[in-house]
Amino acid sequence: MKFQEEIKSWKKFPNVDTLGYYHCLGNYIQLNEFEDEAEFKKAVTNPSTEKNRFSTYVHENQHYIDQVSTYWGILNIFRIFRAFNAAILGNEYDFHYYRDLILTLQRDYYLEYYTEQYNLIEGSYADRWKFQITVGLRFDFNGNVSEDKPIPFVTFSSSDGRKISRVPLSVASLLETTATYAEYNFLLNEALKLKSPHKETQGEALSSKIEKKLYHPELTLYSAAVHLTSVYLKIKDPILGYKVSSVFAKIALNIPNSLFNDVLIPKEFKASEIWVKNSNNLLRNNDRGFLFYLLLTNYSETYGKIDGHEIDVKKILTASNLPDEETIEGIILEEISKFDEEILIEKNSFNRQIIDRIFFGNQFRETTGLGQQKPSIDLSEFVRDRPYLIFASTLFDYEDLELRPIRDKVIRQEDISREEWFRLYTYCEQRIDGFNEICGI
């Protein structure tokens, strides 16, 4: 079970505790609250009896959904399996796929260096934090400032002006927003099933849980998107704040790269030459955290606050000068088709895994919408690939399996067992990490 040892934080989808996580390279969900599969299956049969533990699964499964169904996630799937293919075939001219994958995953978090913690000051609904949007600059491989690679930051301060943290407005915050909303929405619906006074008691407990997460000084990297949404759209209800932020986040994750330069830059940015330059560079670099911020700002300037609980995706897109949902969906499918052709031409050994994940992801996105704003229906008939579930007591041996027969089975597009998958994926991961260490030396 060596795959669990010292996992880099940027290899896992955002996780703010030790209850569970989704690992995008290994394609597995770790569920530490469930002892084994039997316990988990009982919870699946009747989630209401195990709602707190099951909510962790809802959260982590949403990370998997975002990986396979969003345009951003699909690009990552191609990156992952291009790197894996290079690892098992050993063509050194394809090793650049390793570096492309690692840099992309690290940029989705900007955890190292770019995240700064100042004072551990908690806030609350009654004592709200302040924040400021700023832009900094990234550094290149040689340590030089990259003028054309800005990075958006959110700096949080207490109500009396003491600085708490400076965090990037990153993809990590968008992912945590969608997953946390899925978790909290599940818990809210469970509470609403109860009769008074239990319904009110559960509602208050959920509100307190949200408050602690929103105003925890060490979790600002993950809560930044929700804070921005609530302030810009004048939302006071924390659940609604997560719901609206989740829709904006999903749209930001789904906008194709080819549309970034069409996004409207707000008038207030055009008053500053530096902001104009940075805005253009951020869009040119397909910065999805900044895109999220623009979607919010443009909506706020055009329509003001969100009225009620219904979110109009058409208004969100229109306010930022983007085409309608149907047109964007068509562009996504067209670009995926081009990637599919490239993979076929390259004779990627993992073509089957790529197709299976994206097939389900496409069905999910087309059914629930760009913002996952529509109710989900049973799509089990479209599932060809699922993440592995690892529980607290899960143990299996894979380290001593011979690699070549597994590789040959993958090349022939044959099924492999869980143990064979972990032997293969951990080998690929080791190769990728090792190459990354020597790049530039």
Average pLDDT over residues 367-383: 92
pLDDT at position 4: 61
Write b or e for each residue in 63-85: b if 16 or more Cβ atoms lie within 10 A of its Cβ, otherwise e.
bbbbbbbbbbbbbbbbbbbbbbb
- Which element (helix H / strand E) includes 136? strand 130-139
- pLDDT at res. 372: 97
Per-chain mean pLDDT for the chain: 92
* Cα–Cα distance, 16 to 22 (Å, whole number): 12
pLDDT number for residue 224: 95
Report if pTM > 0.85.
yes
Question: For the chain, what percentages of helix, strand and coil (3-state, to nearest 5) are there?
Answer: 60, 10, 30
Longest dimension (CA), the chain: 66
CB atoms within 10 A of CB 191: 18
Exposed e or buried b per residue across 352-371, where buried means at least 16 C-beta atoms within 10 angstroms of its C-beta: bbbbbbbebbbbbbeebbbb
Q: What is the pLDDT of residue 1?
A: 56
What are the residues facing 22 on neighbouring strands?
Answer: 29
First-to-final CA distance of the chain: 32
Q: What is the structure's pLDDT at 143?
A: 85
Neighbours of 326 (CB within 10 A): 8
Share of the chain above pLDDT 70, in %: 95
pLDDT in tens, 133-188: 999 998 887 889 998 999 999 999 999 999 999 999 999 999 999 999 999 999 99
User: What mean pLDDT do residues 360-385 have?
Assistant: 93
Joined together, the tokens standing for residue 357 give 């994940």
Please, is 27 exposed, middle or buried when counting C-beta atoms within 10 Å of its C-beta (0-12, 13-18, 19+)?
A: buried
Task: Please give the pLDDT value at position 6.
Answer: 55
pLDDT higher than 60, residue 109: yes
268 φ, ψ (degrees, to nearest 5): -60, -30
DSSP type of residue 19: S
Q: What is the C-alpha separation between 222 and 14, in angstroms, rounded?
A: 8
What's the gap between Cα 101 and its chain centre?
15
Q: Using the 8-state DSSP alphabet, how is residue 126 labeled?
A: S
CA 209 from centre of chain? 21
Percent of the chain residues topping a pLDDT of 90: 80
- Structure-token pair, residue 389: 């579930």
Q: pLDDT-based confidence at 244, cuts 50/70/90?
A: very high
pLDDT tens-digit map of 283-329: 999 999 999 999 999 999 999 888 777 799 999 999 999 999 999 99
Half-sphere exposure of 291 (CA within 13 A, CB side): 28
Cis geometry, peptide bond prior to residue 150 (ω within 30 degrees of 0): no
CB-based contacts of 168: which residues, under 8 Å, 6+ apart?
109, 110, 114, 115, 151, 152, 153, 154, 221, 289
- The predicted structure's pLDDT at residue 173: 93
Q: Kindly give, in sequence order, each residue whose CB lies less than 8 Å from that of residue 172, ignoring residues fewer than 6 positions away.
A: 14, 108, 109, 110, 111, 221, 222
pLDDT at 271: 78
Buried b (16+ CB within 10 A) or exposed e, 417-434: eeebbbbbbbbbbebbee
pLDDT at 10 over 60: no
The DSSP-derived string for 154-204 is EEEE-TTS-EEEEEE--HHHHHHHHHHHHHHHHHHHHHHTSPTTHHHHHHH
Beta carbons of 115 and 221 less than 8 angstroms apart: yes
**Contact 235/229 with Cβ under 8 angstroms?**
yes
- In angstroms, the CA 118 to CA 206 distance is 28
Read off φ and ψ for residue 252, nearest 5 degrees.
-60, -35
For residue 19, the model assigns a pLDDT of 85
Q: Work out the burial of residue 291: count CB atoms within 10 Å of its CB; fewer than 13 is exposed, 13-18 middle, 19 or more buried.
A: buried
- pLDDT tens for 23-51 read 999 999 999 999 999 999 999 999 999 99
